[in-house]
Chain A
């Protein structure tokens, strides 16, 4: 910026000064380009270009070996609505998104409220957080045997009821998705709880004390004071878990194992199955595009909601 004091200087000197500044700015920009180049290159080549290619592929006829060079128009997208598998996968995905958002939040909130004031909080926090550090593959491998016909849950039930119980939790159409969602909740309740504890800790004590003095019940305190102030944290948790709900793959793929209806357990699994197991590359790309559009739309909506809530709080 040109110093106002220099207004006393002659126009030529000012022009030189401004030109020098512009040169400096350009020099800095060129150097900045060197700094941002690696990141920009990697992201463009490996994350952005593939998205464009994916959209293009969804308009080809590529299946198994051939068809990459043939234009298919919207036929892959039309096929989405013609086969029952897509709508099944869509329903299951909706189930997942709702379950992945609501359940960890409810359980995490309950745990956070329970754990708020007790001793050993750090140890318990770490303990609950531990599954989040494990790989979904590892978690899925363990829980596969928890749900297996001769696994942990069934032996507990057998011992309690005295009869042999070998229900196939992950083989039955009605219980497979809820079962995997339970595992997902097991893995994410820790991080949800920790985030909510952070959010709760940020809530000022005084309004709560004042309300209690006035005789308000715990329920009313929660609804009118805690919940509104917790909303930003809740929204952050929601955004994280929504994306997870849409795109969870490892857990489902490892746990569902040989379940015949595996391919429709979610859109992410369906996309993988159609592309890599069935060889329908173009069709799978179309599924991926639809999934991507949904994720972006929902995330964008939530982000808008989050900024509005934050403005209101301030």
Chain B
């Protein structure tokens, strides 16, 4: 074959390949990084397709940092996907500031009128009073406990005060269990106990940390760290280096696990029956006079402003995803609860938590993870992880100083 012919063939082939890969970009997509919820997300995509008449496909990118990188470069190059999962709090306001996502006020107003959602839920995904996302998952952060372990340690009922909790920890230790499963894996888990202890000491300090009104080496944080170091000294926590974040809870060697109630679906797949093998209780405040607070995690799906403007039918997709059927589908396929008031709770745990919250009416607070400015999120979590590996008071002092330096530098540069 002559050179010219070969080059022509190559040119035609590459043009063909190019056009094939380019055509994928024309389909509408819903992007997600929550791969364990694949079945539920596919169901949502199907519902959205049916309602709007367009083809909407699910695209997954994992892990989380790759997903965020993809979104950041997409938006920077004006290539925003039609729908994608995101986080609320500061992460949402950063996104809203780019102007890439649509204001969904009209859809929320309709949903509230239909009784699908409440106004407080709307606040979870609002920036400056306007909602910019629909809810994919609303989770309360509670303490899971292994009923068999508690029975063996002679604990009749879950604790309602901090003193009771500490006493229960001692009972569990005496019975040969580790009280709390507390891994430092995944690059995000270290913040869980940090924020819970600060929250339990002073909810105002907890909120102030992420808005530059409280310091990471302030007195409340000092109290939290002292408590944390003491709990480590007493052996209340599992080895933070363990990569499997559910292992010690699933095999029963650790009796409790502080995590979002969406994890109940995962425990169910590991063979534990919700409500039978494990139950939940609300974490009591550290100081008795501090009112009960609870950390609420809300994951939204956001909609591209450009896509919504270009295709009015997409609005029907938004309404479909906010509806009862969408919620029930999510619940039955992956046991995720999107907060829809008319939907059936996916499992007993989530139902129980909703009842607990309705009864105790704790102050609901956004997770530290979403509230903290995203630029310093990773650096601060790394510091907390350093403490968990060496949980001594001296290291605690160093970690607090380093965290405050990162925090102060960030706010000074604004």
Tell me the minimal C-beta distance from A264 to chain B in angstroms: 10
Is A50 in contact with chain B by the CB < 8 A criterion? Answer: no
Identify the stretch in B62-70, B297-305, B325-333 within 8 Å (CB) of chain A at 4 or more residues.
Answer: B62-70
Q: Of residues A62, A258, A279, A281, which shows the largest number of chain B Cβ atoms within 10 Å of its Cβ? A: A258
Identify the stretch in B90-98, B257-265, B359-367 within 8 Å (CB) of chain A at 4 or more residues.
Answer: B90-98
Q: Across the A-B interface, how many residue pairs have beta carbons closer than 8 Å?
A: 69
**In the complex the two chains form, is A64's CB within 8 Å of B389's CB?**
no
Residues of A within 8 A of B97 (CB): 65-66
Known: A260-B385, A261-B386, A277-B378. A64 touches B72 (CB 8 A): yes
Residues of A within 8 A of B379 (CB): 278
Interface residues of A in 135-174 (CB under 8 A from B): 148-149, 166, 168, 171
Q: Which of A31, A38, A258, A281 contacts B184 (CB 8 A)?
A: A258
Report the separation of the CA atoms of residues A65 and B219 in the bound assembly, to the nearest whole angstrom.
Answer: 36
Per-residue interface assignment for chain B, residues 367 to 400, with 1 indicating a CB less than 8 Å from any chain A CB and 0 otherwise: 0000000110011001101100100000000000
14 cross-chain CB contacts under 8 A: A62-B76, A65-B97, A168-B389, A258-B187, A262-B382, A276-B65, A276-B66, A276-B69, A277-B69, A277-B378, A279-B68, A279-B69, A279-B375, A281-B72
Residue of A nearest to B76 (CB): A68
**In the complex the two chains form, is A65's CB within 8 Å of B386's CB?**
no
Is B3 in contact with chain A by the CB < 8 A criterion? Answer: yes
Residues of A within 8 A of B184 (CB): 258, 260
Residue of B nearest to A257 (CB): B243
Known: A34-B3, A168-B241, A276-B66. A64 touches B374 (CB 8 A): yes
**In the complex the two chains form, is A258's CB within 8 Å of B185's CB?**
yes
Known: A64-B374, A65-B98, A278-B375. A261 touches B68 (CB 8 A): no
Residues of B within 8 A of A258 (CB): 184-187, 241, 243, 385
Known: A149-B239, A258-B184, A260-B389. A65 touches B383 (CB 8 A): no
Q: Which of A148, A171, A277 contacts B65 (CB 8 A)?
A: A277
Interface residues of A, count at CB 8 A: 29
Q: Of residues A65, A166, A276, which shows the largest number of chain B Cβ atoms within 10 Å of its Cβ? A: A65
Report the separation of the CA atoms of residues A307 and B10 in the bound assembly, to the nearest whole angstrom.
Answer: 41
Is B75 in contact with chain A by the CB < 8 A criterion? Answer: yes
Is A63 in contact with chain B by the CB < 8 A criterion? Answer: yes
Residue of B nearest to A280 (CB): B375
Residues of B within 8 A of A260 (CB): 184, 190, 382-383, 385-386, 389
Is B283 in contact with chain A by the CB < 8 A criterion? Answer: no
Per-residue interface assignment for chain A, residues 218 to 262, with 1 indicating a CB less than 8 Å from any chain B CB and 0 otherwise: 000000000000000000000000000000000000000110111
Residues of A within 8 A of B383 (CB): 260
Residue of B nearest to A63 (CB): B375
Tell me the minimal C-beta distance from A278 to chain B in angstroms: 5
Is B7 in contact with chain A by the CB < 8 A criterion? Answer: yes
Report the separation of the CA atoms of residues A267 and B10 in the bound assembly, to the nearest whole angstrom.
Answer: 39
Is B199 in contact with chain A by the CB < 8 A criterion? Answer: no
Residues of A within 8 A of B386 (CB): 260-261
Residue of B nearest to A278 (CB): B378
Report the separation of the CA atoms of residues A276 and B64 in the bound assembly, to the nearest whole angstrom.
Answer: 10
Tell me the minimal C-beta distance from B194 to chain A in angstroms: 13
Report the separation of the CA atoms of residues A229 and B386 in the bound assembly, to the nearest whole angstrom.
Answer: 49
Residues of A within 8 A of B95 (CB): 65
Residue of B nearest to A83 (CB): B409
Tell me the minimal C-beta distance from B178 to chain A in angstroms: 15
Is B100 in contact with chain A by the CB < 8 A criterion? Answer: yes
Report the separation of the CA atoms of residues A58 and B375 in the bound assembly, to the nearest whole angstrom.
Answer: 18
Tell me the minimal C-beta distance from B101 to chain A in angstroms: 11
Residue of A nearest to B387 (CB): A260
